[in-house]
Each structure stands twice: as structure tokens, then as C-alpha cells.
Amino acid sequence: MPVASPVDFATYGDYTVTPPTGPANSPPGRFRGRLTADGSSGWPAEPGRYHLYVSLACPWAHRSIIVRALKGLEDVISMSVLDPVRDGRGWAFRDGPGHTADPVNDFAVLRDAYDATEPGYDGHVSVPVLWDRETGTIVTNNYPDLTLDLGSAFDKWAVPLDLYPEPLRPDIDALNDRIYTTVNKGVYRCGFVRSQGAYDRAVTSVFATLDELEERLATRRFLFGDQLTEADVRLYVTLARFDAVYAPHLRVNLRRLADYPVLWAYARDLYEIPAFGGTTDLDHIRRHYYRTQPGLNPSRIVPAGPLPDFTAPHGRGPRFVPGGGVR
């Protein structure tokens, strides 16, 4: 299978995002097809039809990877992982540790999928991408909708786990909006803003929300009690990267995650669930951030640490088993 040539910053330059304030302001997904169990959306849930293109480094893609695993859809929706290091060509398919060539279309770079769907595509090339084998096009690259659809449309073949229960949806949406604005995006604002005042506001906002979450999780196992939800998935992907890259690399360093006894235990509790811990790759995460953001790390040297120990006992109860409560 063809693959992209090795990363070459001298020839291709750095991958850039417009506007130039980093991933916090990356544009929303242009392709917004929705998967439905009955096919009423035009994209029916069918085993073997769809393929996920992802990066283990990207938190937005990590959400989809986690939900796919939580729902037990590994044999229903195939998946391939891109090289975490991007030069000016963007996300690319290469053989390497934890990433491979494209087994579905023999694309060399992910932009090929966008061009196949919309010839001459001139927008942002992002992950995750859900590809439809039948039509040979992208269904969606809109990550908020994708996890909701993966969590519900394939229930006929999935683990019985409702991550977005109807009675809790208004509360989940409200908490997700706050976490997205102040934490998921907030860490990037700390790293990519261009003034002291903007940085001060961003870092204050991140830790104000983390302080609130520390208090909230002191009285419940997950964000909505004993029930694992979409909100936990969305928070985890930031916590998993916090001490390893966000604190040292993006200057989100007022406190470490490890300085929050409850939040740190909560993150380890989630990590113990294979869908979370088994999809968290700190090597991909470090190489992506430190090698592809030269404005923050001109040397592109990837540091050896920090090495947060997510396997340490968390003391929050028996291991949670998706579809089966705890064990």
C-alpha cells in the first residue's frame, strides 16, 4: 500500500491552521452527515460500511476512538491511525509505531479523502473523519455529532451503554458547553494567545473550571453520578494530556492535574477502563505537540517526561465495565 514520504519540514514547511491562533479556533467540520439506526438521515448504521480515520494524538479524534471502544464497535466500524507528526501536507499515512498505511483507499495523505469528497477542497483537513465505503465520500468530520451518533445509531450491534440518556441531555449539554469553552479549548488559548492579558484570562478560566470539577467529583464517581456519559469522555481527553503536554507545553501550569486529588483519581479511574486507557498513547501525543508546533517549541525536541502514572490505584471503586456496571 502506498504511504506518504517521511516527514520533511524543510521541503513542505509546517502545517498551519487558519486563523493562526492554534487548535482552539480551528473551524468546525464542513461535512456534517448524521448516522441513524433507521437510515432516515441518508446514512444508515450498517456493519462494515464505515471507516474511521483518526489520530491518537488529537483529543477531538480521541473522543470517537473511546466511544467506538466503549460501545464495542471495533468489528462494526473499522479504523486506521495516522502519523501523529504533520508537516505542511497535514495528516498523512505512514507505517510506524501505532500508525499505518490506509487499508481502505490507499490514500497517502488525509487531504486525499477530502478531495475525493469535494474536488478542489480548500478548507481545514481535520480528524476524526468518518468515511463511507459505499459512496466513496466523507460522511462527517464534525466531531461533536460523531460521538453522539456512534453512541446510539449502532445499538443493534453494540454494548448496551447509553452515554447520552434523554433525561440528562439538557444538563449534559450545559456542562459540555462549559468544559468545552473553558477547558477543552481553554488549554489551547493559554498556549496560542498573543498577549499577556489574554493568557491571564485563559489560564484563570481553565483552573476556575477545574476547581469546580474537583468539588463536583468529590461527591460522585462520574460527572453525572454512577452513570458514565458523553461528558466524561469529553473531559477525559483533556485530562489525559494535561500533565504530559498541556501544562509544560501550553503554559497551563498554575497547577498540575496531579495536584487535584479528586480529579487525578477520577482520571485514573477512567483510564482503568480499557476504552480509555487502552486508547491513550502518550508517545503519539508528545510527538505530535512537540514536533508540529514550532511556534511553541522551535527545536522540535520531544521531552522524556513528565510521565504521569495513570495505573496507580485510584480508590474510587471497582473497575467500571461498560454495559455491566462495575466489577
Which sequence positions are flagged as catalytic?
58, 188
Calpha distance 123→129 (Å, rounded) = 14
Residue with cell 458547553: 177
Nearest alpha carbon to residue 55 among 115, 100, 121, 9: 100
d(CA 258, CA 242): 9
Can you give the C-alpha Rg of the chain in angstroms? Answer: 19
Peptide bond into 128 cis (omega under 30): yes
Cα angle: 163, vertex 25, 257; to 5 degrees = 60
Residue 222 in grid coordinates: 462520574
Amino acid residing at 201? R
Total residue length of the chain: 327
Which of 326, 325, 272, 327 is CA-nearest to residue 160? 325
φ, ψ of residue 324 in degrees (nearest 5): -135, 15
Q: Which residue has the cell 446514512?
A: 43
Rounded to 5 degrees, what angle do the CA atoms 185, 85, 2 make? 130
Show Cβ contacts of residue 40 under 8 Å, excluding neighbours closer than 6 positions: none
Q: Check: CB of residue 104 under 8 Å from CB of residue 113.
A: no
Cell of 27: 473551524
Evaluate whether 100 touches 109 at the Cβ level (below 8 Å). Answer: no
Is the distance from CB of 303 to CB of 290 less than 8 angstroms?
A: yes
